[in-house]
Structures are given as structure tokens and as C-alpha cells.
Amino acid sequence: MKNHIKTIGLMTLLVFSASLSVAAADFNDNQDTLVDARVVEVSEQRISVVAQTGVEHVIAVDETNTKVKKGDSEVSMKDLRIGDVITIELEVGSRIKLAKQIEISRPRDVEVARIPE
């Protein structure tokens, strides 16, 4: 019985520490960049993205101040589509998650190699 209680305690600790590391993995060390997130919603004031960890983030955008890049060229916010894979640089010091720059890494029409199931 005593070993059973120790095992449960250890498993709880492992699950808790794993959930903390997953939450921290969404952003880099500076807490200002979200890398390879998939766009799930686009509107004039915000975008919703799902990070590699599966966590959804709502990011505010400002058409005049948020720069969108595709390759080496700057494009319009209207070129951002659901399904695109993007990297977002956030405005440092902002109370909300405000996108300073968005880089489209992979447009939604680019197929990624998959392993057959």
C-alpha cells in the first residue's frame, strides 16, 4: 500500500512538471515569439493560432502596425489564410498578445510529407 501511494505521488509530480514544460514550450526564451503555429481563424482585429503543442492562442493584429511577410516580400493581412503555418513576433511590453510581425512559413496550399497510416 505504501509503494502504491508513492507511485501515485510520483506520477502526479511527473504529469504536473510535464504540463508546465509544455506550456513553456509555446514561446521561446524571450517570451515574444510563437514559432510554426497553424492559423485557425482570421479576422480584422485578431487571429487564432494553434501552437505545435496544441495550445490555442488569440493574437491581436493591427493592419497598420502588424507587418506580414511571405518569403522576402511584405504582403497584406488579407493574404493570411486559415491553415497557413506562421511565426509571430509579439510586441514586447504589450498587455495583450499583439502581433508586431507575422511571417508565413508555409502557405496552406503547400503539402507537407506525411507518413501513411
Strands 46-50 and 33-42, how do they pair?
Answer: antiparallel
Distances (CA, A) of 36 to 16, 18, 88: 25, 21, 8
The reply to whether the predicted model has a pTM over 0.95 is no
Number of domains in the chain: 1
Q: Output phi, psi for 45, to 5 deg.
A: -105, -15
Question: What pLDDT band is residue 109 in, cutting at 50, 70 and 90?
Answer: low
Output the average pLDDT for the chain.
80
- The DSSP bridge partners found for residue 49 are 39, 57
Tell me, yes or no, whether 112 lies in a domain: no
Q: Which pLDDT score, from 0 to 100, does residue 30 have?
A: 46
**From edge to edge, which strands make up the β-sheet containing 99-106?**
56-60, 46-50, 33-42, 85-90, 99-106, 67-70, 73-75
Strands 56-60 and 46-50, how do they pair?
Answer: antiparallel
Question: 2 by DSSP, 3-state: which?
Answer: helix
Tell me, yes or no, whether 61 lies in a domain: yes
* CATH number of the domain bearing residue 46: 2.40.50.320
Q: Output phi, psi for 8, to 5 deg.
A: -65, -45
Question: What pLDDT band is residue 111 in, cutting at 50, 70 and 90?
Answer: low
Looking at 4-13, 34-43, 46-55, which range is the least confident one? Answer: 4-13
Tell me, yes or no, whether 111 lies in a domain: no
Question: What pLDDT band is residue 86 in, cutting at 50, 70 and 90?
Answer: very high
Range of 54's domain?
Answer: 2-106
